[in-house]
């Protein structure tokens, strides 16, 4: 089959979904669809082993031990897309060894609006730190052995960048103790996450030896422990991402609605209140507005972290009934001004309506074709 431009490249898009059990017990959960082998399940925040559930049909998940009323079951799953959104992520972890030091040099130039900073696992407000080039300065007092985690997203407003696919493997410890775990997939230091019994380890808690595909724990796991390894690999290049973070400070009592500057897709949006990630039952999304179920307090910080073009299979990549990948679909109305990146072309299925005041910028050497 021939294509206009580059042939589509298979990618992985990540989605999330939370479900609260309303019955006395529940074992079977219907999801929005996932790629078999690429789904992670959490029960009340604890990551389950692959042996704790069955997910083989791409639609439903069955827990081996039924959940109880009011349990929160969370799904993180990956679905196939083609020639779509791609994200390059750089993670750096900093251990505080001197409380007098507040400035830290990062390994890469951060884009502030696409960078998240966590303090002992808590997402910080952008008012808690500042950037000057690669130097990040914390604007509050730190304690000895605090852990600062910086996650930098790359690829915004550029035509090419690296992106990884993800693979997940799990190991159940059967010996009295075990420190080394040999993976099937390629692993790269700095691009691998390790969990023990559902708890994500610090990068100081393990080492990665890519040449032997070995994860070595600093502290040995014991019999019955579950060790999970999530690795990013298979790098390719592709077009830009559309990922955004917006922060709101509550200025009035009983303020519950927060309007973002761009379209947001509910299944690809996270909302944080004072650094704590909310359950999807704690807010609703309508168009560009996020509404909290319970009113926050004055001066609370609400952060909306959205991937506005992550596939929503009806918007990006081929879709269809069942497992078909036949139809390419796009919106019919442009509501937000947009600049096509340098050295790239754009293609849309028409007709397209451009709203008043919206400007589409096509740089020299690029084209926008409406078919």
SS3 sequence of 334-345: ECCCEECCCCCC
Q: What are the distances in angstroms from CA 147 to CA 135, 185, 239, 252, 331?
A: 17, 29, 33, 33, 43
CB atoms within 10 A of CB 317: 23
pLDDT at residue number 105: 92
Burial degree of 283 (CB within 10 A; 0-12, 13-18, 19+): buried
pLDDT tens readout for residues 175-225: 999 999 998 877 887 678 787 876 767 677 899 998 898 999 999 999 988
The distance between the two most distant Cα atoms of the chain, rounded to a whole number of Å, is: 68
Closest C-alpha to 225, from 187, 182, 175: 175
For the chain, the domains span: 10-82, 88-154, 162-237, 243-307, 330-371
Q: ∠162-164-167 over CA atoms, to 5°?
A: 170
pLDDT tens readout for residues 95-129: 899 999 999 998 878 877 668 788 876 767 777 89
pLDDT tens readout for residues 345-365: 888 888 888 888 888 888 888
pLDDT at residue number 100: 92
Ranges of residues in the chain with a pLDDT under 70 are: 1-16, 37-38, 45, 47, 49-50, 77-89, 113-114, 121, 123, 153-168, 190, 198, 200, 202, 232-245, 262-263, 265, 267-268, 275, 277, 279-280, 307-326, 342-343
pLDDT at residue number 216: 96
Task: Return d(Cα 19, Cα 53) in angstroms, integer.
Answer: 15
Q: If residue 166 lies in a helix (H) or strand (E), which one and from where to where?
A: strand 162-172
Q: DSSP for 64-126?
A: EEEEETT-EEEEEEEEEEES----EEEEEEEE---TT--EEE-SS---GGGEEEEETTEEPPG
pLDDT at residue number 338: 78
Place of tokens 């390059």: 88
User: What φ, ψ does residue 282 adopt, rounded to 5°?
Assistant: -90, 0
Fold of 10-82: Immunoglobulin-like (2.60.40)
pLDDT at residue number 316: 41
pLDDT at residue number 116: 77
Give me the chain's average pLDDT, please: 75
Q: What is the rounded (10 degree) CA torsion for 58, 60, 61, 64?
A: -120
Tokens for 139, please give them.
């604007």
């Amino acid at each position: 089959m021939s294509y206009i431009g580059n042939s589509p490249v298979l990618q992985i898009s990540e989605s999330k979904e939370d479900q609260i059990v309303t019955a006395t017990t529940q074992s079977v959960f219907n999801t929005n669809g996932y790629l078999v082998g690429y789904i992670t399940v959490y029960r009340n925040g604890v990551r389950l082993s692959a042996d704790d559930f069955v997910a083989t049909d791409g639609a439903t998940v069955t827990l081996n031990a039924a959940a109880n009323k009011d349990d929160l079951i969370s799904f993180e799953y990956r679905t196939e897309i083609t020639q779509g959104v791609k994200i390059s992520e750089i993670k750096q972890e900093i251990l505080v060894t001197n409380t007098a030091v507040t400035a830290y040099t990062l390994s890469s130039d951060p884009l502030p609006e696409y960078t998240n900073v966590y303090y002992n696992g808590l997402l910080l407000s952008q008012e808690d730190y500042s950037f000057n080039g690669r130097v990040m300065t914390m604007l509050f007092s730190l304690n000895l052995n605090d852990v600062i985690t910086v996650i930098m997203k790359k690829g915004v407003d550029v035509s090419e960048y690296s992106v990884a696919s993800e693979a997940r493997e799990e190991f159940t410890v059967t010996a009295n103790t075990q420190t080394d775990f040999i993976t099937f997939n390629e692993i790269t230091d700095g691009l691998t996450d390790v969990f023990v019994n559902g708890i994500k380890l610090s990068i100081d808690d393990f080492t990665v030896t890519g040449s032997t595909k070995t994860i070595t724990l600093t502290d040995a796991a014991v019999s019955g422990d579950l060790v999970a390894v999530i690795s990013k690999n298979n790098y390719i290049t592709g077009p830009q991402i559309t990922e955004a973070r917006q922060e709101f400070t509550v200025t009035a009592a009983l303020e519950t609605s927060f309007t973002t500057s761009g379209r947001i897709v509910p299944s690809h949006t996270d909302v944080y209140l004072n650094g704590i990630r909310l359950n999807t039952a704690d807010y609703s999304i309508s168009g560009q507005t996020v509404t909290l179920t319970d009113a926050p307090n004055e001066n609370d910080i609400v952060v909306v972290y959205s991937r506005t073009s992550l596939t929503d299979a009806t918007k990006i990549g081929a879709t269809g009934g069942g497992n078909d990948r036949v139809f390419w679909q796009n919106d019919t109305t442009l509501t937000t001004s947009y600049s096509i990146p340098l050295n790239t072309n754009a293609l849309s299925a028409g007709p397209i309506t451009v709203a008043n005041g919206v400007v589409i910028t096509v740089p020299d050497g690029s084209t926008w074709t409406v078919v």
